[in-house]
Amino acid sequence: MASKFNYTPYIFVVSLLIPIVVAFLYLMPKGWEVGEEVLILPKFNAIINGLTTLVLIAAFIAIRKKNIKLHRNLMLTALGLSLLFLLSYVTYHSLTESTPYGGEGALRTLYFVILITHILLAIAIVPLVLITFVQALAERFDKHKKIARITLPIWLYVTITGVIVYLMIEPYY
């Protein structure tokens, strides 16, 4: 069922609020006493990113095989995993200080290149995912397919580099 509702203002607000809230959480002072359950969240986030990567690849394969129902279910799963990641990420960074990277030399440079591109594309992926989703919801599959060709590789990059960033910083937690 095609929808005439204009989601653009909502996509704009959500896409703007998420990075503002995350930046605020990074900058706000931390003085909380946190338990072990909070300290497991970075690993949990990496696992969520890895699972999202696998689900996105499976969804791509499903649509290439014209299995629309499976594709839709997998994409809803990817959205759910991404929302779970965001909630966990925000929780962790609202309660704890950021962990500085302790590597040196070329590895340090590589880490920051990956981290910076990951952050910038993580900000960019929010409106892309929402627009792609809304196009499918509105049954505008020609537009959905066109934007999905941009969204998928960026979303995959963000989820894969999320795991890489975790693996590179994990020794310094």
Choose among 41, 87, 51: nearest CA to 160: 51
Q: What is the pLDDT of residues 9-55, one digit of tens each?
A: 999 999 999 999 988 888 888 777 777 788 899 999 999 999 999 99
Asked if residue 64 is part of any domain, the answer here is: yes
Asked if residue 167 is part of any domain, the answer here is: yes
Asked if residue 93 is part of any domain, the answer here is: yes
Least confident range from 24-38, 57-71, 95-109: namely 24-38
Structural domain count of the chain = 1
Half-sphere exposure of 85 (CA within 13 A, CB side): 23
**pTM, rounded to two decimals:** 0.91
Asked if residue 156 is part of any domain, the answer here is: yes
Domain region containing 84: 38-172
Asked if residue 26 is part of any domain, the answer here is: no
Residue 41 identity (one-letter amino acid): L
Residue positions counted in the chain:
173
Asked if residue 160 is part of any domain, the answer here is: yes
**Residue 115 is encoded by which pair of tokens?**
């981290």
Asked if residue 9 is part of any domain, the answer here is: no
Asked if residue 106 is part of any domain, the answer here is: yes
